[in-house]
Structure 1
Amino acid sequence: MLSGMAAIGLAFTNILLLFVSIVVLALTPVPYLGLALVPWTMTLVRMRTDLERRRASRTGVAVTRPYHPPPEPAVAGVWPRFRWIVTDPATWRDLAWLAPEAVVGFGLGTIGVLVPLYGLAGLTLTPVWIWLGTGWYGYGAIWSAATWPAALLCLPQGAVILAGGLWLAPWLRRVDARFTRLFLAPTRNAELRLRVTQLTITRADTVDAQAAELRRIERDLHDGVQARLVSLSLIIGLADTLIDRKPAEAHKLLAEARESSTTALVELRHLVRGIHPPVLAERGLGGAVRALALSLPIPIAVEVELSGRPDTPVESAAYFAVAEALTNLIRHSRAHCGSVSLRHRDRTLTIVVTDDGAGGADPAAGTGLRGIERRLAAFDGTVTLSSPAGGPTVITMEMPCALSSPRTTPSSGTG
């Protein structure tokens, strides 16, 4: 019944927005005034349509936003914003939706409100009859409470109508949502355009991430292994000059060179592990995640249900996404334990990382979720965060992929 009342109120909002939009569009020829008012008004219209999309999603009817991306802030001005609004076909579909939705929403909302109210009225007729006595002769054309038997019959009739109205309300809301989808869902061309835009952004993020990774590798090689090898070369050269004259000192330098070479080898192994861990290539995603969990200071349960292995790029991205999520868990969550679940269903790899920490994780606070999103976006992956205050924190990562070779490791376990 509340959704019906909301639909009635929003129907009047649609009429008001349509009237304001027509007036503003009529003022477009007026210098500066139309250019400034049209984007502002259409923003209000989009706020209204976005609200309707959210209401539709609550009924299980998904309606995607179809709008062009806004102009870059560097070039944003009155004219670019005006052109962005008026050249977007979704703007005119929004305007075309306002009037029909006002009629449909008002009609369905009225039915959703009046039917339960009518049933409620039937339930209240018997108490009213008792209070008023024989002077009460009914309600409308259905209810008649002039006698005791008639008054008592109002109770079951009213209960049936009230229950029927409450049962009917979600169906009416779903019908309204499907009608909304006819107007506000993106067309085929709009879906292709949005897909191209998403791929362009994803490609740019991937290129930036790869460039940053190459810079990191270059820095680690320059500051670590390369410096160690230069030092090693100098020590060996010095030992070579002393081997005949001062063999004892030369042997000390060679021992120092041996230690330096061992350190360089360890650093090089760490660097290689950061590029593509050998355990990932040897044991697959499940085994690599278990090995990672065993190296952490708190217990992490690992459950794996994979019938094969993803492609190497997908497997690597999934591993490093889990590693980053677990790193955030150790650093920020104050958790005592956690878990990682890896499953493959319907050609989708689903990874769920949970912890029993304090919760309240915020992607904007630099908790690493943005890095995970950028890493998975290159493979059309998505990241969903649930972290209420007090916990638990649940990070769900999904990546579309197919599995190839058969599994060689156990399907589940605890790390």
Structure 2
Amino acid sequence: MTDHDLVRDAGARLAQAGLGLARTPLCAVGLVLIPLQLYAYPLILVTIGVPLLLLFTALARRYTGFFRRWAGRVLESEIPAPYRVPANRGPMTRVRTVATDPATWRDLAFLPVNAIVGILCGVLPVGLLANGLLGFVVPLIWLDHGLVEYGLLSYDTPGNFVLAPLLGLAFLVLAWWAIPRAARLHAKVARWLLAPSATATLTDRVRVLADSRADTVDAQAAELRRIERDLHDGAQARLVALGMSLGMAEELLSRDPRAAQELLAEARQSSNQALSELRALVRGIHPPVLADRGLDGALRALALAHPLPVEVDLELAGRPEAPVESAAYFAVAEALTNVAKHSGASSAWVRVRHEGGRLGVMVGDDGRGGAVASDDGGLRGIERRLAAFDGTLGIASPVGGPTIVTMELPCELSSVKTSSSSGTA
């Protein structure tokens, strides 16, 4: 470590110690919220307690939210809020949700613990620093006054005079070691009390999986209805017409060969159209290009058919599982369709990577921005499709653009490298 790095690290630790000391009054202020919130509960019986409880609970949650965000920054790991969401906006429903939410009571338990731990972690490093500096200052005072007591030492002998700087140096070394650890200790205590409990995390996970399963079942039912409708209105109708044309041609073949020939020509045309519709339907279920050429070839074919120039940048060390590959393909297809319909963009791009056991797909454009996942929109459909595989969807689309849609799917790749390419289609 160079002298410059040492000085910078020392400045950072001094600043950290100062911020820790500055947080101590805030830690103590939180104690005021305990009687305020508890006092509001019996007042619910006389109605005035309803707004008071909601107000004081909101203040407590904003207070604990500050420490939750601070602890997340210190520990470099986001701490999610564990609160339940009420079924509706009625005040009594909100009161019932607040009163029965375990996170509300954990917040109350956090307030006194935070006051004790926060003050201790804020004052102790500064106290060590002060004692360390005092060890170098006391000998100078002793020179002026002849005798000064520093802790248990009396500076009336030369030996004790020498011990003062050594003791001060020990305090400074201890302070150097304690400053970051005190902050992390405070942050870990905050995470322990403010993060969702294991039961709450499991409950939330079960809820997410139940919602995802319901969305998947609905999507599959809608897809089956679409396939049935396409078969009934398209290929089936043409095959029925084909059978009728062949029957009429059979009747006319002996007495009017020319008319029979025209009917046979129409039947051949109807069979070609029915075959084309069946092929299109099959592509909608699972595109043959995806099975033959993998995700790279399928996305490039998709880009070539797009009305805008689309750049495809794909690097994969293997091939994803077939269901995940299909979900990624159709998600990109829907995203590019939205680009063509709504973005007003002049170009788009697709980037695919696999890192940390997750397939990451990004679709961007240079359009007007402002894209949101509405309930009946294509982005919401993408989100439901990804949720079936425990995937996530992120949208960054400020007004004025650009728009970037990020999709992640947990998956493993095959061992054989299938694609590593970049280009413009």
Instruction: Bin the TM-score by the shorter chain.
Output: 0.7 to 0.9
Q: Which residue of 2 aligns with 1:25?
A: 41
Q: Which residue of 2 aligns with 1:215?
A: 225
CA contact (8 A) 2:317 2:419 kept: no
Query: Which SS does the other structure have where 1:97 is aligned?
Result: helix
Alpha-carbon deviation of 1:175?
6.2
Q: 77, 98, 105: which is aligned to 2:111?
A: 98
Correspondence list, 1:145-294, <5 A: 177-294=187-304
State the distance in 2 between where 1:396 and 1:172 align: 38
1:247 aligned partner, one-letter code:
P
State the distance in 2 between where 1:49 and 1:249 align: 85
**Structure 2 gaps, min length 5:** 1-14, 126-177
Alpha-carbon deviation of 1:54?
4.0
2:190 aligned partner, one-letter code:
T
Query: Which SS does the other structure have where 1:363 is aligned?
Result: coil
Q: 101, 104, 121: which is aligned to 1:88?
A: 101
1:27 aligned partner, one-letter code:
L
Q: Which residue of 2 aligns with 1:66?
A: 82
Correspondence list, 1:337-356, <5 A: 337-356=347-366
Alpha-carbon deviation of 1:207?
1.2
Alpha-carbon deviation of 1:248?
0.8
CA contact (8 A) 1:289 1:319 kept: yes
1:24 aligned partner, one-letter code:
A
State the distance in 2 between where 1:40 and 1:205 align: 36
Q: 327, 337, 342: which is aligned to 1:332?
A: 342
CA deviations over 1:153-194 (Å, ceiling 9, x no partner):
xxxxxxxxxxxxxxx999987665444212111222222222
State the distance in 1 between where 2:257 and 2:67 align: 85
State the distance in 2 between where 1:20 and 1:6 align: 24
1:340 aligned partner, one-letter code:
V
Change in Cα spacing, 1:387 to 1:325, as seen in structure 2 (3 Å) is same
TM-score between both structures, scaled by the size of structure 1: 0.75
TM-score between both structures, scaled by the size of structure 2: 0.73
Query: Which SS does the other structure have where 1:245 is aligned?
Result: coil
Q: Which residue of 1 aligns with 2:393?
A: 383
1:89 aligned partner, one-letter code:
P
Per mean C-alpha deviation after superposition, the further-off stretch among 275-284 and 101-110 is 101-110
1:49 aligned partner, one-letter code:
T
State the distance in 1 between where 2:67 and 2:370 align: 29
CA contact (8 A) 1:61 1:178 kept: no
Percent identity at matched positions?
53
Query: Which SS does the other structure have where 1:27 is aligned?
Result: helix
Change in Cα spacing, 1:247 to 1:102, as seen in structure 2 (3 Å) is farther
State the distance in 2 between where 1:235 and 1:91 align: 74
Larger Rg: 2
CA contact (8 A) 1:283 1:409 kept: no
2:297 aligned partner, one-letter code:
G
State the distance in 2 between where 1:361 and 1:396 align: 13
State the distance in 1 between where 2:352 and 2:411 align: 13
State the distance in 2 between where 1:295 and 1:177 align: 53
**Structure 1 gaps, min length 5:** 113-167
Change in Cα spacing, 1:56 to 1:221, as seen in structure 2 (3 Å) is farther
CA contact (8 A) 1:61 1:174 kept: no
Q: Which residue of 1 aligns with 2:64?
A: 49
Count residues in correspondence: 357
State the distance in 1 between where 2:25 and 2:225 align: 56
Change in Cα spacing, 1:365 to 1:170, as seen in structure 2 (3 Å) is farther
Alpha-carbon deviation of 1:32?
6.0
Query: Which SS does the other structure have where 1:233 is aligned?
Result: helix
CA contact (8 A) 1:328 1:367 kept: no
State the distance in 2 between where 1:251 and 1:234 align: 14
Alpha-carbon deviation of 1:375?
0.8
Root mean square deviation of aligned Cα: 3.4
Change in Cα spacing, 1:379 to 1:255, as seen in structure 2 (3 Å) is same
